[in-house]
Chains A and B, each alone.
Chain A
């Protein structure tokens, strides 16, 4: 089991309220991603769940039991840190065995579990090395291995991929997703990268300044953002926003179109001059200077448009996102 419920959980550091009271329910077996800009309180929220920080108010329930006052180790959660936090003076094997040793598990059982984890994570070949002799990806695996052997109720990940290079990051992303499919344990994953959130999550929690802006499945957030912040945060390239007459046409204070919902042609609704064109082969990203400011357009395949060209664009008006003056979706 690994159901976690936050009831009115809040956190203050001195006078600064980093997390205003919030409620959140995480179901057993779910892959939940906390996403939001840097400094919005994602790590703090995760550390509250882990028990590394005390809550300033509210209750944390794990599997229905009040865990607010429990020490980190009692909560049955395992954490993978951004810096991996491996014990540098212990071999990989000892690192992975450490939580079991602390729990006074018999040596034979420890060996079996460590070997099992090594097999799952494919790290048997370097099990007797020290962390200092491993690459970033290998360290990441060891950190996950150390989490797995405890059979936790839930895994907590704090930006685990941010120290890896781009190619490795994609690989590890897949591995963690696969691991979740195998273990079916609850995972809470913190990232500032919306691509990671969209690709990995069952459920995304979008945070801003400690506040939950929206909770939902990735496509739910993409198609039905609750407000301007979520609309702008989810999706890449970013949604184009417009106010004024163009918004008035849709009876809104502000409207937004995603770059992939704008078509380029010989004629159209809007005219503009291309400032930058990025040709990826599969897609073409255009930055177009228009009367509404810069508009990002994403076209499928290669479009033969270059810097300085004047082009016409037509938005798919059925895909419009409309917002009121407060930024909420209409």
Chain B
């Protein structure tokens, strides 16, 4: 609203907004703080906000207690791997839909979207059995395959909306200039779409990183990414709040940072371009 507002009004709004913002953010803040406490301080009543002995022990313990680094790497490999794989499959498809649309293009897009709406639990049993028979249970490969397919519709859609914004004349100019199809895509389309491709990558890394239905059901000790590994803290074992917090902080920190960079793309990707 382009409306001149008084300083007073602005001050009131600022206070309200900050209060609400801090309340909403508090669980995350609390987790981060607790991760630096000793286990005793972590359950102290009344709670200790800043007046505790800051320690890094928990981060150390988390790695000792379980192979934290392994699970972290699993998360990285699985989320990046599935996103890149999806991009490789999706870029040509989105090119085709954006620049050589046919009569059925719209139907294909809608159909791809509809596969995203298939509840995972509807295919849990067969996927589980197929994975068991092919030895894919608790492997990174298996999870990469599943997450690639889970994300493919979103990746295609996002790329499609970005590609649509590139004028077809530029690609035609390249064609006149003698570029073959592959050169057209490599030298012209991809560099022009870098921001769009980067956003797509970002959003999908986030979604894959946080995915918790398939990771919980298809992985165990070896290939569990963080989203599944953290669940092992669901059965309490003595004093563990600080360690839980340390593990959680490490699990969410990378994505929290990435996520802040991708707010705009998030809207676009998750609404399939319906809200820009």
Binding site for B on A (CB under 8 A): 50, 52, 71-73, 77-79, 81-83, 85-89, 98-99, 102-103, 146, 150
Contact = CB atoms under 8 A, between A and B. Distances in A.
A283 B173 CA distance: 43
Given A88-B192, A102-B183, A73 B169 contact: no
Nearest to A75: B176
A150 B176 CA distance: 10
Nearest to A89: B191
A79 B192 contact: no
Interface residues of B, number: 17
Contact of A99 (B167, B172, B177, B191): B177
B178 to A, nearest CB: 4
Given A87-B170, A89-B191, A98 B177 contact: yes
A150 B175 CA distance: 13
B174 interface: yes
Contacts of B179: 73, 98, 102
Given A102-B179, A102-B183, A81 B191 contact: no
11 contacts: A72-B172, A73-B175, A73-B179, A83-B167, A86-B173, A87-B174, A89-B194, A98-B179, A98-B187, A99-B178, A102-B178
B173 A81 contact: yes
Contacts of B194: 89
Given A52-B172, A79-B173, A102-B183, A85 B178 contact: no
A73 B177 contact: yes
A86 B173 CA distance: 8
Nearest to A81: B169
B192 A72 contact: no
B188 interface: yes
A98 B194 CA distance: 19
B105 to A, nearest CB: 15
Contacts of B172: 52, 72, 79, 81, 85
Given A89-B192, A98-B174, A99-B177, 16 more contacts: A52-B172, A72-B175, A79-B176, A81-B172, A81-B173, A83-B169, A85-B172, A85-B173, A86-B170, A87-B174, A98-B179, A98-B187, A99-B176, A99-B178, A102-B178, A103-B178
Interface string B37-50: 00000000000000
B176 A50 contact: yes
A250 B108 CA distance: 64
A102 B191 CA distance: 16
B176 A87 contact: no
Contacts of A102: 174, 177-179, 183
Contacts of B174: 87, 98, 102
Interface string B166-205: 0101101111111100010001100110100000000000
Nearest to B173: A85
Interface in B143-169: 167, 169
Given A52-B172, A85-B172, A85-B173, A73 B192 contact: no
Most chain A CB within 10 A, of B177, B183, B187, B188, is at B177
A297 B234 CA distance: 91
Contacts of B169: 81-83, 85
A56 to B, nearest CB: 17
Nearest to B183: A102
Contacts of B177: 73, 98-99, 102, 146, 150
Which 5 pairs across A and B sit closest by C-beta, in order of nearness?
A73-B178, A99-B177, A102-B178, A85-B173, A85-B169
A72 B176 contact: yes
A113 to B, nearest CB: 13
A85 B177 CA distance: 12
Contacts of B192: 87-89
A85 B170 CA distance: 4
A87 B175 contact: no
A90 B176 CA distance: 17
Contacts of A79: 172-173, 176
A21 B178 CA distance: 29
Nearest to B167: A83
Contacts of B178: 73, 99, 102-103
A83 B176 CA distance: 15
A52 B167 contact: no
Contacts of A71: 175
Contacts of A150: 177
Interface in B63-110: none
Nearest to A50: B176
Contacts of B175: 52, 71-73
A102 B176 CA distance: 10
B176 A77 contact: yes
Most chain A CB within 10 A, of B167, B173, B175, B176, is at B176
A143 to B, nearest CB: 8
Contacts of A86: 170, 173
Nearest to B172: A52
Contacts of B167: 83, 85
B113 to A, nearest CB: 26
A156 B178 CA distance: 15
B182 to A, nearest CB: 12
